[in-house]
Structure 1
């Protein structure tokens, strides 16, 4: 009985050590490789921000290999990408109220599915899966939309999310030779 008590105490100590020392250390190390970035748009009565971690290409084949086709991607690295709006907006006819959401995608060869989700988990993937399985919960989607893939002539080394104005306002996601554009409109 005494041995069992010590085994339990040691296991609890190991779990606490990992939670309070190991995880913060791992997060800090991964952010050196894929630094945090922020894209903001404050103009014309709109106030939006995207926070994400931007990994680098480093000579790898990105879409179809590093990021598999037809599988949920946390859309960046580390924690899930977050999209915050302080104003009512519309994305392809879907109403989005002010708030912070997680942004997930399912990359495809010709189009991507983009999901805005009301849940923002602590980390974008499970540690048990070695980073292969996301923590995405489809039951809390605000919407899912399809957007076409654009092939770029020049390769983009670092995964980049930005707001661009070109015949309207778009949230753009670019990496390697792939770009998608998500149209955003202000709601009255």
Structure 2
């Protein structure tokens, strides 16, 4: 009987160790979202009077890598090559209604948001190939639209890659994409 209890005790003592779950560490490139109108999801839940009957125009879900003392543009983000705009999966941009991106008409829907960075201008790419890791499987045949936008410089470097929307007028906004001292203004409208 003592042998059975001893065996049972050893088994039960070992059980928690074998059932322990191992979790990965925290991702160094946290995910973020940008809406237009700004903070739409929050206001829809907590301040519905603030948005009234307005519908969201656009949401971007992306990962925010940090500069961490590295040379970003032209080095970490190479010029002339397709880049996923951020880290990990390619950002997903969701248009809740038909919009224009630059001068291109874009149907409501979800797209991968990619770019070809350059020193003085960037090519912004919307691809129908969502859920891709990085831009490694990029296929130009799946492009929905491409627009070219000028590069702007800022005096104050941005430590983390960021996307933010600003209202231009009642039907238009600018999606600002920024990292380090580079800012890319992308016009979005209804």
Please say whether Structure 1 and Structure 2 have the same fold, judged by a TM-score greater than 0.5: yes
Deviation at 1:48, TM superposition (A): 1.2
* Cα distance in structure 2, aligned partners of 1:118 and 1:95: 15
Tell me which of 157, 165, 188 is aligned to 1:184: 188
* Cα distance in structure 2, aligned partners of 1:58 and 1:67: 14
Deviation at 1:47, TM superposition (A): 2.7
Deviation at 1:166, TM superposition (A): 4.0
Contact 1:78/1:124 (8 A) holds in 2: yes
In structure 2, do the counterparts of structure 1 residues 122 and 72 end up closer, same or farther at CA, with 3 Å as the change threshold?
closer
Q: How does 1:86-125 map to 2 (within 5 A)?
A: 86-125=96-135
Tell me which of 143, 146, 150 is aligned to 1:144: 146
1:74 aligns with 2:74: no
Tell me which of 152, 155, 158 is aligned to 1:156: 158
1:48-85: CA deviation from partner (whole Å, max 9, x where unpaired) = 11000000000101001111111110111000100001
Tell me which of 58, 62, 74 is aligned to 1:64: 74
* Cα distance in structure 2, aligned partners of 1:67 and 1:60: 11
Deviation at 1:122, TM superposition (A): 3.5
TM-score, normalization by structure 2:
0.74
* Cα distance in structure 1, aligned partners of 2:61 and 2:127: 14
1:84-112: CA deviation from partner (whole Å, max 9, x where unpaired) = 01111011221111110000001100000
Contact 1:121/1:135 (8 A) holds in 2: no
Contact 2:35/2:56 (8 A) holds in 1: no
* Cα distance in structure 2, aligned partners of 1:88 and 1:46: 11
Unaligned runs of 5+ in 1: 1-24, 126-133
Q: How does 1:21-36 map to 2 (within 5 A)?
A: 32-36=27-31
1:23-69: CA deviation from partner (whole Å, max 9, x where unpaired) = xx7xx65x611011011114654431100000000010100111111
> Comparing 40-49 with 106-115, which one deviates more in the overlay?
40-49
